[in-house]
Amino acid sequence: MKLIKNLAMSIIAAGIFSACGGSKQAATTTKSNVVQESYQELDRCEKYALQKPGSRAVGEGYDYRVSYAKTYAEGQARAEMRRKIEAAILSASSEDGDGYEKHASSGNEGASVRDEGAKKNIATTQIAEGIVKNTAVVEMSKYVRNDGSYHVYVCIEYMDGISKMAENIAKQVEQQVSDDERMKMNFEFEKFRERIENELKKQK
């Protein structure tokens, strides 16, 4: 009788330990698309953006609401791409002395030069903003920080590729320059497009 009692106790104990082990395993296999933040050299969105420099840009945002953090990250990514496009336009247009902003600011008085220069800066920004509108989010990472807020990375991309982007930028720049100015500059569209593309590819 004592042997039977001991055997029953052993079976019950084994069942309890088995149940505990099973519940623990279920808890550890629960999947989530948000992970605890761990500091690393580069996030996967940053690595993804580096695969196509010029046509991709990355941003990050923080907030206790994940949707807000994503919105902030998208805004930062688009601002980064605008800066890259503006820099590419200014650099490409200044090569060989045929910068369109130089010809537009060739007045005799300093005030006139400043006014025309400001107009061209505005035009460059408008061109960049128009290009950025044709981007889409292609990659996103979400992390939970120690304080419970979200850290979101977003990568955006100009989906038609860097060559098409350079072509569209060059076309818009060409439209900003009068026929007379194009003649003075000896403006060659294809060469300018190539310089824009090369400048964009340099961007990191």
Q: Report the pLDDT value the prediction gives residue 28, as an integer from 0 to 100.
A: 26
Q: Report the pLDDT value the prediction gives residue 46, as an integer from 0 to 100.
A: 93
User: Is residue 8's pLDDT more than 50?
Assistant: no
User: Is residue 138's pLDDT more than 80?
Assistant: yes
User: Is residue 97's pLDDT more than 70?
Assistant: no
Per CATH, the number for 42-202 is 3.10.129
User: Is residue 123's pLDDT more than 70?
Assistant: yes
Q: Report the pLDDT value the prediction gives residue 114, as an integer from 0 to 100.
A: 45
Q: Report the pLDDT value the prediction gives residue 14, as an integer from 0 to 100.
A: 44
User: Given pLDDT bands bounded at 50, 70 and 90, which one contains residue 10?
Assistant: very low
User: Given pLDDT bands bounded at 50, 70 and 90, which one contains residue 107?
Assistant: very low
Nearest to 79 by CA among 135, 160, 138: 135
Q: What is the rounded CA–CA span in Å between residue 132 and residue 169? A: 11
* Backbone φ, ψ for residue 51 (5° rounding): -70, -25
Evaluate if pTM is beyond 0.85: no
Q: Report the pLDDT value the prediction gives residue 119, as an integer from 0 to 100.
A: 58
User: Given pLDDT bands bounded at 50, 70 and 90, which one contains residue 201?
Assistant: confident
Q: What is the rounded CA–CA span in Å between residue 3 and residue 1? A: 5
The residues facing 155 across adjacent strands are 58, 139
Burial of 77 (0-12, 13-18, 19+ CB in 10 A): buried
Q: Where are the alpha helices (DSSP H) in 96-145?
A: 100-104, 110-132
Lowest mean pLDDT among 24-38, 46-60, 67-81, 180-194: 24-38
Query: 25 vs 9, which has greater pLDDT?
Result: 9
Highest mean pLDDT among 17-21, 38-42, 124-128: 124-128
Mean pLDDT over residues 187-198, rounded? Answer: 85
HSE, CB side, 13 Å, CA atoms: give it for residue 54.
19
DSSP 68: H
- Token pair of 150, please? 């979200």
Q: What is the rounded CA–CA span in Å between residue 6 and residue 175? A: 93
User: Is residue 164's pLDDT more than 60?
Assistant: yes
Q: What CA–CA distances, in Å, run from 163 to 44, 57, 109, 200?
A: 25, 16, 39, 10
User: Is residue 53's pLDDT more than 50?
Assistant: yes
User: Is residue 16's pLDDT more than 90?
Assistant: no
